[in-house]
Structure formats: C-alpha cells, structure tokens
Amino acid sequence: MSDAPESVKITINGVEIEAPAGEMLIKVAEEHGTYIPRFCWHPRMKPVGLCRMCLVEVETPRGVVLVPSCVQPVADGMIVETASPVALKAQEGVLEFLLVNHPLDCPVCDRGGECPLQDQVMSYGPGESRFVEEKRHYEKPVPISDLVLLDRERCILCARCVRFSDEISGDPLIEFQGRGNTTEIFTFPNEPFASYFSGNTVQICPVGALTAAPYRFRARPWDLQTIESTSPFHTEGSRITVHASQNQVMRFLGVDNGPTNQGWLSDKERFGFEFIGSPGRLRTPMIRENGELREASWGEALIFVAERLKEIIERSGPDAVGAIGGAQGTNEDAYALSKFMRAAVGTNNLDAQLDDGLNPDFLVGVGSRARIDDLETANTILVWSADLKEENPILYLRVRRAAQELGATLIVVHPARTGLDDVAAHKFGYRPGDGSDLLADLAAGKDGFAAARDALQEGPLVVIVGRTGLAESGGLAEAVASFAGDLPGVSIMPIVRRANTFGALDMGVAPSLLPGRIPARGAEAPLVELWGAIPVSRGLDTVGMLAGLRSGELKALIMVGADPVRDVASGSRAAEAIGAAEFTVAFDLFLTDSAAMADVVLPAEGFAEKEGTVTNLEGRVQKVNRIVPGPGQARPDWSILDGIAEAMGSPIGLQSAETIAKEIATVATAYEGITWDLLEWEAREGAVVPHGDAQQPLEYVAVNAEQPQQTKGLGLHLARTLYDDGSAMRHSLSLAKLAPGMSAGLSPDHAADLGVEAGNQVTVSIGNVSFTCPVRIDPSLSNRTVAIPFNQPGIETLDAAAPISVVAGGPS
Amino acid sequence: MTDIAQWSQEAEALAEAVIAKYPQKRSALMPLLYIAVREDGYLTESGMRRVAALVDLEPAQVSSVATFYSMYKRQPVGKYLVSVCTSISCWLLGGDEVLEAVESAAGVPAGATDESGVVSPEHVECIGACGGAPAVQVNYELIEGLTPQKATELVEWLNAAQPETLNGDEMQALFGGQRSFDWAIHETDSATGPYPAFQPHGTVAPQGRS
C-alpha cells in the first residue's frame, strides 16, 4: 500500500481548496460543492472522457483551455473555471449535439422526470436547437434480455453500460458496434444480455436507452414514494431504495453504500420486488378442516394453534415442539421466535438454517472475522465456498474487484466451474467428499499447490468459507477455517446464503444459541429476568427436527417463512416429515409446498411491509423500512407469536418492533447501543456488531477437522443457482422464467465415456428419483462428479444423500 | 447451441502461432479476424465466435472491433474486390470516372457483387497513393495511374483470366500508368483472395507469381 497521496492546492471558481494529488477534477469539485455536469463519468468506474459534457476551463502554461474534468487529475496551482462563459458555451454545445439524435419522447420514456439528460439540458443546455434535419431512427425498443430493453435512438453512447459489464460484473455482453454516425450499443446477434447484474446498467444509464421490463410504463418518478431499506435477498445486506405507488412496490434501486454493495444489486434483488405485490400472497388465516384449508379469523386461528400446542406440550413435553425458519425476516421477528420457543414453549428446538448452512457456533463464534472491506486491502483471497456469483453475488463483485482492479491474488477452490475462475490466479477442483484430502495437499504445498500455498503466506489474507454444495458436509468449511486461522494476517469470512441468517443466529434462532451470541446454557441476567426459566435440554436442528417428526419423537412443527420441502437438500424426506407431524403451523407470505401441508396457515407481513433491523454476514446491522401495507389481514411474525403466547397463557410481552429492538439492545450485549434512531441518522452505513471480541460470550472451539468420506462412487455436486424455484422467485413473474432448469454437469472425459456431448439427454437417478435432462460439459469437474442445480422448476424433490447414477439417453 | 465455425487445421495452427506472439491473447484479435475472413470468404457470425473463443473475449467484443473496420467484410464479396479511391487527389485526377468505368464493366454499382460472383467494385477513402492518383486496389494489391479505359480492361481481364493470385507489380505493368515513385523493391507477395496479403496471416501465395 502506498502512502497517502500528497495534497495539492487548486482554485475552483475563485475558491482555493486542497485535494489529494491525482484525484480527478470532477470528483474534487463535487466534493467541494461544485457540480460539473456529466454523463459518462461514474464514481465507481474508470474515467473515459467520452461524452465531453464535463468540459471546464483550466489555466495551463499554454493558456486557458477547455478540458474534460473527468480525465483531468488535479495538480498544484491549477486554476479552474467551471461556469465561465466559455465553459458554459462548451457545455451548451455538447448538449445541443447530443440532442441532434436524441428523440424528445420524454413523455413516454421511463426515465422522464429523473433523467440526467433532461435535467442537464434544463440546467446547462441551449433553449433551442438549430438542428432541423431528420433524426437517426432505429427499431425501438429491442429486448436484449428477458429483463432489459434497449432503445438505441435515445442512447448517447456514454458507455456506462459497456464499462459496467466489462469492469464491474465481468460479462461484457454489450459493446459498441459499428462506427461513426451509425455507432450503436448492442449485443452480439442472438446472444442476449444474460447477465446476473444487467439491471445495474438500467440504473446507471443517463438516458432512457436501457429500461427494465418489470418497471416499464408502470409508474412515473414523480408519483413514487421512496424509502431507504436493506435488500431482502443475499446475506451481504445491500442498501436499496424501495419505490412504491398507490401501495404497490414498483421497483428497487441500489444505494451506494461503500462497505457493502457500492450501489450495485444483483438482478434477483433488484427485480425480486415483484413477489411483494403478487396475487398469490396469503391474505387470511386458514385452518385445515376435513382435509381442506378454510379461512378463519385471527382470533380463532391463534386460539386454535395455542390450544393444539398446549395440549401437545402437556401430553409430550415442550421438547415435542420445534420451529424452523426465521432467517427471512427481521432481527425483531427472529428475537420473537427465539423468545417464544424458549419462554412460552420451553424448548431449544429451533433453527433458522435449513440444512444448507454451517454450524451456528462456528458462524457466530469463529475468530479473526473479516469485513467485506478487508477485500480492498487484501493481498491474497481464498474462496472455498459456494459459487459466489450464484449465492452471494454482491460479494462476488467485491472479490472480483479485489482480484481484477486491486491486484489481489485470488485462489478459488470449488468442485465445479465458478464465476470467479476467470480472475483467479489458482483454481482447484475436487470430487465432493474429497475436500479434506485437497485441504491437506494445499496445507502441505504438494505438487501443483506450492504456488497457492506460498500466496496464502502473503497477508493480509481474506478467507471466505462456506458450503460448496448442499450434498457436502458443513464440517469442511470449519476445517478450512481452522487451517486458515494459523496463516499470517488472516481474516475469516464464513458465509451462508439466506438473507438474514446472521441476524437470526444473533437472536438465538439456533438450538445452541441465545440472543447476543450466548451459549444456550449460559443465560444470565438480564435475559433470565425478562424470559424467565430458560430450557436447558439439548435442542434439535432442522435435520434433527425433521427426523424427529418422522420417528414421532417430535409432534408439532412451526414453520416461520420456511419451506423445508423446497429448501432442504433432501426435500422428499422433509415432505415425509411434515406429513407425519401431528400438528404443523406455517407463517408465510405464500402457500408454499410445505405450507400447503400445514394444519394452520397464517399470513405474514413481508419485506417493505414492516420495520425492523437485519444483520449482514459481517455483523453489520441495518434498518429495513415499511412503505406499503401488508395484504389483507397479514401480520408481522412477532405479532403472531405474541398472540399465540398470549392465547397459551404464557405471554411474552411484545408490543411493537421498536420495543423489541430496545429489548434486544438490553439482553444482547453485542447489540448494546444499537437503536433505530442511530441507524436512521448517524450510522447510515450500518453499525457493525463485532464478532469475536470481549463483548461476545460465546467461544467457538474448532472441531476435529476429520471429514466423513463419501462412498467411492459418483460424487454429487448439488449447488444452488441465483434463480431457482424458491417461493419468492416463483412469485416474481419476471424472474420465475429465468431458472436455468435441470441439467447434468459432467467432465469432458466422463461425458466421452458415456458417449454424450453437451446438450444430449442423460437420465440421472438419485435414490428412487429419476429424471432426464441435458448434459452440460464442465472441465472443472472431476471425472467422478455429477453437478446438478438445486431446486429447479418441474423437478421432484430429491434425497441428496442417496447414491447417484447417470446413463446416456432419455426414458426408454 | 451457438454455432462456432470449424477451421481448417492450417488455420488453427496459424491462429495459435499468431496468439503466441502477444503477451495478451486479446491482442491477437485483429490478425485472427483476417484468418476468419480467409476461412469463410467473409466475416461470419460463427467465425467471430471462433475468434472470441480463441482469445477469451465475448463475441460482442469481437464484433465491436470487426464492425469498426471497413476492411473486415461482413457480407460475401466476389473473388476480386476492386477498391477505387475517391479521396481528394484521386478525385481531382478522375477517380470518379475510374469508379464509373469499373462499375459499368462489372455491371453492378459500388458495394455490390456481379452475378457470377467475380468482381465487387467499391469506393474507398485514401489508400496512400496520392502521388500515383487515381489509384485502385484489387484484393488490396495496388495499381496506380489508371485511366477509365485501363480500368475497364482491368475488370475485363479479371473476368476472363480469373487468376488465382494477384500481384500488384504485375497488374501495374498491365494496367497502371504514372506511379508515385519507383518503389525499387520488386513485390513478391501476392494476394490469394479478397483480403490483404499478409505473411503472418497466411494470406500470401506461397510463391509470388513472378
């Protein structure tokens, strides 16, 4: 790292200011209150000086000249005029040229009202155009992907979208085509702009050339109400603004929060807003009667649930009840669930993770924690987790930036090809189940691993660990972290996928944890005072609860925004378990496959309908806000839980999300001092709850790194894709069709052995489920691995633990 | 599946050799585009995909370069591309008349190809032969000092003889007039198709014709 750049003195419009040498003039001016108009310049991308809008007058030894301020580094003694008659005339001229071809269809343009071109023509442009000839015409608009439409007539060729897709997201599928007057931005013929990040280009387009299909013609900017919030997708906690009109959420936009998303969003979190207003939302409580769900009042439903639970507790004890879920909501809802299960029911059977995460003690307690921003200063980055592009896309962008722009050495370990392979210095694959062998080889610096091992010694080192796939044990991630823990300058980032998992764990939605990262048996005041006696029996996790339901040990299951049939790796067994339960109740937004089997279904409020806080993967607490009412009679989870506890005669005394937040700050030491006011005003970037410091009572001790070996047959790599058949995706119409569908990834040799090529059909059998799907060739796979995407539409639930086989051809 | 061109072994070997010359693969993009043109006669979408795969770029990036340069023909052209300069020096000395002569001898306007697929007239901007204006290139082999009469004869010769390779010096002797100056070097590289004769791109006849 170089030392801080020396500072220089420059004069802008007669005012002397100090600025770091080498900074671009446009940025320095803006930071000191002088806005210079611009189109192509974007603070998160490299300057190109394309649009010429930011011309200003600068005194040089050659006299006063017009320079584009976005590519002009500041130098000592520089004298700048941004609004002199000459500068203004130049800016006016540029705008007049831009309007030569830009159509004046603002009244029917999505951008109208929030368009940088419109705004800057108003402020800096000529009143009239001298251009009387015919404008350029193109077919408009052209859909360049399922989500984005392109109107080339409106394009001013600033290349923001081109640069974003090349520099930031790494999928340069749109480029300048042609030359001169016929230059246009376009994709390759018949190759759609199929990027997971395409929506960002719509947001940064300074005109209405790129528009988003889910928002097109649905609202005008001046009719929108806006509120800042935190994305309900992905554990990175992207900051967003939620825009609503007439009680309907219309769109999400990215907010530039430096420590997290830096303005970018994945298309899933940008366009996933559609599920909020879906007609499929649950609106009234429902009780199963004679095998059919019928509508009920809240009073009836709550009393019904309370009585069934009470009766089961009296008959079989509190440990016959369990709860799954809590990671999709707010911290306040998760806290309510934790308190309800412990204080009202009296059991530790609760789990926010759905058999796809990691040991909660590890997630909460592993030491030397990394923040996302540590990637900016890292020398070496080791990613041994799921494909970040599919599961943690914002983290993918940050790691990619570190490797590509900031020069960090990236090491990727994953059984299949990942989105980061292109920028990785070292990539190692392995058959799922053989991970610990590879870890031993890497640690020993065996043949082929020496360079990577040497790089690991070059701190600062950030190690991102997680489960590479659903069929792999979570213990491997702990073993990797334990190995990495001894490396110099290391910081560790354990990751999971579901949005507020870290918040739910911090609130004690895990069998082994209480709010504030306290071990389940280590409760002290003030928690004991507020909660009363806290159960000490050993709780069950999701797998344990599902097994307990099947064996009859567990009688009742509460599902809080959880759909085990779709979410756990062995969904067929989950369905069996729910079927075997004596009593199940689901709080959900939709009638999911699991909720459809429940005895009582209660409509819950979801994102944008309730206030609260969420905690991201680095422990950053951020606020989520309400802008629309929930559908029908939907209520927030905490209120449902409070109502059931009340009806059971064991009230948990929750009044509002805000009072719950205050209660959290009282009982969870780590959350001390975190108030909604703080998050709304002073801590706009979020407040980080530090892991592994003195405030944290839980001590995580690394477990024996020995991993169970899979049988010697074929290994199954069962991995999630960004778009799948989850309930939020299924009810976001624009995204629902984007799930890639089932395919079987095979290594080239494996495919040759079977006599198949890419696109040919094969029949895959996992346990007693068989399906036919096309082959995908992935040279990163070992010859004994089959890669299957998880949870695709139209595919039966699988048992991931069952043996797998593949044969060429379809059903006979 | 997207369609990717299959190249001859020779072209593949040549592409490999070209890529090896550069520290970064993508630097080989422009030479490889000529190989793609040579393989298919013009730049096809599948050819651009092949180039993209070879230099680790997206096809959109390849076509961005390919569409910028007018010498990468993206439509089929005849066996002989007759480029007539109409920039200022040539224009002053009758470039337009030469173009008209070429067009009427070929029977098609500039930018088109005759029915038998032999001659494609086009007009181009300066080809660096102002001293020998008006100048014409046939498959990028230069002839200087043409008259409309000689231009007509040139097209007739191309139609009648249909030579496999073309050499600038040879055509100059047959149809040319005043040259810019005596180049003094006997040109041995001969064009083998409607693309420039570049030794490293394998687009040169094994031996010059003369």
Overall residue count recorded for chain A in this entry: 812
Q: Is residue A383's pLDDT more than 90? A: yes
pLDDT recorded at residue A812: 57
CA distance A699 to A697: 6
pLDDT recorded at residue A424: 97
Measured between CB atoms, which of A171, A179, A188 is closest to B59? A188
In whole angstroms, how far apart are CA A445 and each of A379, A381, A452, A457? Answer: 19, 17, 8, 11
Mean pLDDT of A676-685: 92
Do B116 and B194 sit in the same domain of this protein?
A: yes
pLDDT recorded at residue B210: 38
User: A230: closest CA among A205, A199, A259?
Assistant: A259
| C-alpha count within 13 angstroms, C-beta hemisphere, residue A366 | 32
Q: Are A749 and A781 in contact (CB under 8 A)?
A: no
| Contact with chain A for residue B93, Cβ under 8 A | no
Q: What is the CATH number of the domain that holds B97?
A: 3.40.30.10
Count Cβ–Cβ pairs < 8 Å, chain A vs chain B. 44
CA distance B150 to B138: 13
Q: What is the CATH number of the domain that holds B63?
A: 1.10.10.1590
Amino acid found at B17: A
Do B103 and B189 sit in the same domain of this protein?
A: yes
| Minimum distance, in Å, between the CA of residue B105 and any CA atom of chain A | 31
User: Please, what's the b/e burial string for A757-780 (b: 16 or more CB within 10 A of its CB; e: otherwise)?
Assistant: eeeeebbbebeeeebebebbbbeb
The residue with greater pLDDT, A367 or A171, is A171
Q: Is residue B171 one of the residues assigned to a domain?
A: yes
pLDDT recorded at residue B208: 44
pLDDT, tens only, A629-660: 999 999 999 999 999 999 999 999 999 999 99
pLDDT recorded at residue A1: 44
Do B47 and B86 sit in the same domain of this protein?
A: no
Overall residue count recorded for chain B in this entry: 210
Helix boundaries (H) for A582-630: none
Do B150 and B110 sit in the same domain of this protein?
A: yes
Provide Rg for chain B, Cα atoms: 18
Burial class (CB in 10 A: 0-12, 13-18, 19+), A136: middle
Q: Are A189 and B64 a contacting pair at CB < 8 A?
A: no
Q: Are A179 and B68 a contacting pair at CB < 8 A?
A: yes
Do B135 and B176 sit in the same domain of this protein?
A: yes
How does DSSP assign B150-169, residue by residue?
A: HHHHHHHHHHHH--SSB-HH
Mean pLDDT of A766-788: 92
| Minimum distance, in Å, between the CA of residue B81 and any CA atom of chain A | 21
Do B111 and B188 sit in the same domain of this protein?
A: yes
Give chain A's domains with CATH numbers: 7-83 (3.10.20.740), 286-357+501-607+635-672 (3.40.50.740), 361-494 (3.40.228.10), 715-808 (2.40.40.20)
Tokens of A319: 């440990």
**Phi, then psi, of A230 in degrees rounded to 5:** -125, 135
Tokens of B10: 């020779």
Q: Is residue B209's pLDDT more than 50? A: no
CA distance A44 to A56: 22
pLDDT, tens only, B164-183: 999 999 999 999 998 887 76
Q: Which residue of B has its CA nearest to A174?
A: B60
Examine residue A141 and say whether the peptide bond preceding it is cis (omega within 30 degrees of 0).
yes
pLDDT, tens only, A197-207: 999 999 999 99
Q: Is residue B208 one of the residues assigned to a domain?
A: no
pLDDT recorded at residue B1: 47
* Percentage of chain A lying above the pLDDT 70 cut: 97
Q: Is residue A795's pLDDT more than 80? A: no
Do B37 and B105 sit in the same domain of this protein?
A: no
Q: Spell out which residues of chain A touch residue B125, defining contact as CB-CB under 8 Å.
A: none
Q: Tokens 């585009």 identify what position?
A: B33
| C-alpha count within 13 angstroms, C-beta hemisphere, residue A415 | 31
Q: Are B202 and B153 in contact (CB under 8 A)?
A: no
In whole angstroms, how far apart are CA A276 and each of A233, A251, A271? Answer: 13, 10, 11
pLDDT recorded at residue A670: 87
Q: Are B67 and A179 a contacting pair at CB < 8 A?
A: yes
Amino acid found at A343: A
Q: How confident is the model at residue A704 (pLDDT cuts 50, 70, 90)?
A: low
| C-alpha count within 13 angstroms, C-beta hemisphere, residue A551 | 9
pLDDT recorded at residue A703: 65
Average pLDDT, chain A: 93
The number of beta carbons lying within 10 Å of the beta carbon of residue A634 is 24
| C-alpha count within 13 angstroms, C-beta hemisphere, residue A168 | 28
pLDDT, tens only, A248-264: 999 999 999 999 999 99
Q: Is residue B119 one of the residues assigned to a domain?
A: yes
CA distance B185 to B203: 20
Q: How confident is the model at residue A625 (pLDDT cuts 50, 70, 90)?
A: very high
Measured between CB atoms, which of A172, A186, A759 is closest to B58? A172
Measured between CB atoms, which of A171, A176, A759 is closest to B64? A176
Do B88 and B142 sit in the same domain of this protein?
A: yes
pLDDT, tens only, B17-46: 999 999 999 999 999 999 999 899 899 999
pLDDT, tens only, A409-419: 999 999 999 99
SS3 B156: helix
Measured between CB atoms, which of B48, B60, B68 is closest to A187? B60
Domain assignment of residue B38, given as a range: 9-68
For chain B, what is the domain count?
A: 2
Do B44 and B132 sit in the same domain of this protein?
A: no
How does DSSP assign A234-269, residue by residue?
A: STT--EEEEEEETTEEEEEEE---TTTTTT---HHH
Beta strand pairing call for A426-428 and A409-413: parallel
pLDDT recorded at residue A797: 76
pLDDT recorded at residue A692: 65
pLDDT recorded at residue A706: 55
Do B19 and B114 sit in the same domain of this protein?
A: no
